[in-house]
């Protein structure tokens, strides 16, 4: 006599598990996308004459240090103000990983990377702003998420 075991609701459970796997894939894709976006926005633009000791104005901004100038009797003066902007980036997961917050905690980062507050000199010298990067990287963000979801769909 054959024995039959029937589990009612198994299909619903499997469907929910499949949705959970896909949500994990979305989170994974968003994390990878956030690291990508962070890499784009944190990249320093090329140095300009404003960063060189040969600046005709006699003062310049030295990355990783701050403002520098030539002293009348020779030597260098300076004010160590740099917070090393490029090292102050971090990514924070929110909403169970469905939101990725990319931020920079250097006190002056808003004047470099915030669209509404960016100083003209930073715009002129090629520093990217948050909104610009978010818009330019939309397709890359979607690609990261889609690739992770596709992995789950293939498995």
Q: What is the pLDDT of residues 10-44, one digit of tens each?
A: 677 667 767 778 889 999 999 999 999 999 999 99
Classify residue 50: in a domain, yes or no: no
Classify residue 123: in a domain, yes or no: yes
Classify residue 72: in a domain, yes or no: no
Specify the pLDDT at position 38.
96
In this structure, what token pair is assigned to residue 73? 């009797």
Specify the pLDDT at position 43.
96
Specify the pLDDT at position 11.
72
Specify the pLDDT at position 14.
64
Classify residue 96: in a domain, yes or no: yes
Specify the pLDDT at position 3.
64
Classify residue 122: in a domain, yes or no: yes
pLDDT-flagged residues of the chain (< 70): 1-10, 13-14, 17
Specify the pLDDT at position 15.
73
Specify the pLDDT at position 83.
97
Reported in sequence order, the residue ranges of 63-154 that DSSP labels E, i.e. its strands, are 66-70, 76-80, 89-94, 99-104
Q: How far apart are CA 123 and CA 20, in angstroms?
A: 43
Q: For residue 30, what are the domain limits?
A: 24-45+83-154
Specify the pLDDT at position 81.
96
Classify residue 12: in a domain, yes or no: no
pTM for the predicted model, two decimal places: 0.83
Number of domains in the chain: 1
């Amino acid at each position: 006599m054959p024995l039959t075991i029937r589990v009612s609701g198994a299909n619903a459970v499997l469907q929910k598990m499949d949705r959970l796997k896909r949500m994990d894939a979305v989170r994974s894709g968003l994390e990878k996308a956030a690291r990508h976006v962070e890499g784009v926005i944190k990249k320093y633009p090329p140095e300009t004459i404003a960063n060189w000791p040969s600046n005709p104005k006699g003062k310049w901004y030295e990355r990783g240090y701050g403002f520098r100038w030539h002293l009348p009797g020779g030597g260098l003066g300076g004010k160590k103000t740099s917070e090393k902007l490029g090292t102050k980036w971090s990514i924070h997961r929110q909403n169970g990983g469905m939101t990725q917050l990319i931020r920079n905690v250097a006190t002056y980062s808003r004047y470099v990377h915030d669209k509404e507050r960016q100083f003209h000199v930073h715009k002129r010298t090629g520093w990217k702003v948050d909104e610009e990067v978010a818009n330019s990287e939309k397709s890359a963000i979607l690609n990261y998420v889609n690739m992770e979801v596709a992995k789950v769909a293939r498995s």
